[in-house]
Structure 1
Amino acid sequence: MLGSGLIRQSVSRAPVFRRFLTTANNKNVAFAFDIDGVLIKGSKTIPQAQEALQLLNNEKVPWVLVTNGGGKTERERVQDLSQRLGGIDIPEDQFMQSHTPFKRLVDLYKGKVLIVGGDGDDCRKVAKLYGFKNPVIGADIIRKHPSIWPFHRYRREEIEQWADPSINVDDGEPFDAILVFNDPRDMGTEIQIILDLLLSENGVLGTRRKTHTSRPSIPIHFSNKDLLWSNDYPIARFGQGAFKATIDTLYETTTEGYKLESVVIGKPFKETYDYAHNLLVKKFKENQNISSISAKISAPTVYMVGDNPASDILGANGYGWRSVLVRTGVYQDGADLQGAKPTVILDNVLDAVKYGLEN
């Protein structure tokens, strides 16, 4: 069936459902789920989401959540999501945000790091939790230099609440890197500060290097490049990918044609799938009562369930996972799949789980 190309079907047959309930424990299978457009959609919960995860828990089938969203700590996100899914237990080690792999950069960037995106100073809190010693946000810079972007949206009380007065942005110490954790809430301010640092002299704010090159003065990391994402509005909204496109275009224009070198993770990139794969293998061993971390196991067949062909499906296909595209989010029937054809297209996440267990 998998070799027959793209399959469009909805799995809801009760006899088949009963059959795989008795055999799921013997299946070498695991699941990875996107969140927005698969389990939730804006302020609403996808009706079949709770049942889908509960089924996997009952059958002890490993699963992880892999989202290109972020902006809060993993603990906050799983607590909120668990509540929205009727109390389903979501351990932190089964949950991965787009910026979760930034933890690996802590030992690389020990000085100032510009943290971009999220509400208020939430992403600074996440960065500190990951172990970054000197995270700086836009509010810190606006507090000292409000004219760096005179059209900033910060009110005085917000500066007082979010800016850290102990941070001296004029001490001559360079920034080590820029980490875009989440979609910016004040895009104009973030764009200006980012371009200032990319074009600075060795990462020192308020300076400008004399030569142009594709390599910026300091590295910039984007946690995902999703152009669109799904919420309550009937048409998909711009995401971090749109912000990245803006930065790329302005850098190229400012440098008279040099394309910005940057690091991008999140779906569909391999680093994110490596991270998710390791989480799944750990959970699979736990379910099989395998205590040795180094023990060899037969790699499970992994089904990635997502709503975005350009991230969920493209990434899963490239990593060798099977891909299930659902109709509850970004994707609409007839849309261009952009070279990212899934294993199957189904109506919702419960149909996806049934399909994976059956096959």
Structure 2
Amino acid sequence: MALRGCLRAGRALLRAAGPPARGVCAAARPPAFGFLFDVDGVLVRGSQPVPAARRAFQRLADGSGRLRVPVVFLTNAGNCLRSDKAQELSRALEMQPPPTTGFPTIEGVILFGEPVRWETSLQLIIDVLLSNGNPGAEPQAVPYPHLPILACNMDLLWMAEAKMPRFGHGTFLLCLEDIYKKVTGRELKYEALIGKPSTVTYRYAEYLIKQQAEKQGWKAPIRHLYAVGDNPMSDVYGANLYNNYLKSAQQNQVRAGGKRNPQAASPQTEDYLELRKDCNSSVESCYSILVCTGVYRHDNGVPSKTEQCTTEAVFHGHRDFCFDPSLVEASYIVQDVNDAVQLAFKKENWS
């Protein structure tokens, strides 16, 4: 159930490119890294592109407009169709339309994104939970455990054209949880929490990165992922959490004599086993890069990581994720996505 929720709600849009360019760099050394790009606050704000985004993708593409490295768009936004999101990104970034991946059908109570009319939606969801899925009948007793719930976006805030962040689906979930507890005296339970910062979402994004590299004929194993985002509590937290998973899996592999046993690496083992039966990963690190064009802002230049930690003392993450200050400390902090791409190219010695 949790994996199927990830496959539909992770919203990782696969940007496919044509055959690699015949330039010296691409032909001589296939890329051993890939990018996971957040969308809102990194590439666009509302309907307007971030100016640095187009410059960044000019660096990522060759002279024919084809990508030189694998790229996945990893966003929690679930308020439109995948095809519509792909067309929106294509127009904003002035690139060829990115195709989207297909996902299985999900059964259950699924919360994708914040609704337009919160009061009505909150009332209807509470009605369904209290009636065990039959809101037309008067319940004799409050069922508990209630119907299974999948939540696919935990972002408390997100960035649009407005100067200040907007309430996200995480705020809607907070209201739903408090109302349910106020009415019933019990905690709302989730079957699964999907999307950033959930680890299974990054596992699937890694799978798409490798799938894209294989499709383009790039033989080098993908060693590093660069997750670029604007929200410390979802983008940075999720990338760091996945980096911890990768390190734990590597240590477990050493202890097992070179044979990886993923069961010691993550509590969501069944999801990973269902996603990829071999569970082998060449990726060694997932670096978190925080940009200052979205939810996270700094008016006096790019702050140090120490400054970032002191400003992120309030935990905006979901109640079911523990607060660890180290998880919201980005590997790197840059001004915008173009700087993020340049940083990754420099680290990879990629021109």
Instruction: Give the counterpart letter for 1:318 in structure 2.
Output: L
Of the three residues 178, 191, 198, the one matched with 1:249 is 178
CA distance in 1, matches of 2:51, 2:333: 18
Instruction: Give the counterpart letter for 1:64 in structure 2.
Output: V
CA distance in 2, matches of 1:271, 1:90: 26
Q: Structure 2-normalised TM-score? A: 0.67
Conserved? CA contact 1:37–1:307, under 8 Å = yes
Q: Which stretch shows the higher mean deviation, 242-251 or 271-280?
A: 271-280
Residue 191 in structure 1 maps to residue 191 in structure 2:
no
Query: Where do 5+ consecutive residues of structure 2 fail to align?
Result: 1-23, 244-285, 299-307, 316-324
CA distance in 2, matches of 1:311, 1:248: 19
Q: SS at 1:266's partner residue?
A: coil
Of the three residues 314, 323, 330, the one matched with 1:342 is 330
Conserved? CA contact 1:56–1:62, under 8 Å = no
1:232 corresponding residue in structure 2:
161
1:219 corresponding residue in structure 2:
148
CA distance in 2, matches of 1:342, 1:208: 50
Of the three residues 24, 29, 33, the one matched with 1:29 is 33
Instruction: Give the counterpart letter for 1:189 in structure 2.
Output: T
Conserved? CA contact 1:56–1:63, under 8 Å = no
Q: SS at 1:234's partner residue?
A: coil
Q: CA deviation at 1:90?
A: 4.2
Conserved? CA contact 1:38–1:306, under 8 Å = yes
Q: SS at 2:120's partner residue?
A: helix
CA-to-partner distance for each residue in 1:171-222, whole Å, 9 max, x for gaps? xxxxxx2222221011111111100111113x11223544456521x22221
Query: Where do 5+ consecutive residues of structure 1 fail to align?
Result: 1-20, 110-176, 291-296
Greater C-alpha Rg: 1
Residue 72 in structure 1 maps to residue 80 in structure 2:
yes
1:267 corresponding residue in structure 2:
196
Conserved? CA contact 2:90–2:96, under 8 Å = yes
Conserved? CA contact 1:214–1:261, under 8 Å = no
Residue 45 in structure 1 maps to residue 49 in structure 2:
yes
CA-to-partner distance for each residue in 1:238-268, whole Å, 9 max, x for gaps? 1000100111011111112334334221100
CA distance in 2, matches of 1:336, 1:289: 39
Q: SS at 1:345's partner residue?
A: strand
Q: CA deviation at 1:27?
A: 4.0
CA distance in 1, matches of 2:218, 2:329: 36
CA-to-partner distance for each residue in 1:263-286, whole Å, 9 max, x for gaps? 221100022112211110101112
The 5-angstrom pairing of residues 1-359 of structure 1 reads: 22=25, 25-58=29-62, 60-86=68-94, 88-93=95-100, 103-104=103-104, 106=105, 109=107, 177-201=108-132, 203-212=133-142, 215-216=145-146, 218-289=147-218, 298-320=221-243, 321-333=286-298, 335-336=311-312, 338=315, 339=325, 340-359=328-347
Q: CA deviation at 1:308?
A: 0.3
CA distance in 1, matches of 2:204, 2:77: 16
Q: SS at 1:354's partner residue?
A: helix
Q: Structure 1-normalised TM-score? A: 0.65
Q: SS at 2:226's partner residue?
A: strand
Instruction: Give the counterpart letter for 2:239 in structure 1.
Output: A
| Number of positions where the alignment pairs a residue of Structure 1 with one of Structure 2 | 254
Change (3 A) 1:49 1:258: closer
Change (3 A) 1:354 1:214: farther
1:136 corresponding residue in structure 2:
none
Instruction: Give the counterpart letter for 1:47 in structure 2.
Output: P
Q: SS at 1:48's partner residue?
A: helix
Change (3 A) 1:213 1:60: same
CA distance in 1, matches of 2:199, 2:183: 31
CA distance in 2, matches of 1:275, 1:74: 16
Conserved? CA contact 1:31–1:64, under 8 Å = yes
Conserved? CA contact 1:267–1:315, under 8 Å = yes
Change (3 A) 1:34 1:90: farther
Change (3 A) 1:332 1:289: closer
CA distance in 2, matches of 1:228, 1:22: 40
Q: Which stretch shows the higher mean deviation, 223-232 or 333-342?
A: 333-342
CA-to-partner distance for each residue in 1:2-56, whole Å, 9 max, x for gaps? xxxxxxxxxxxxxxxxxxx958944411101001000111232111111212322
| CA RMSD after TM alignment | 2.3
Q: SS at 2:61's partner residue?
A: helix
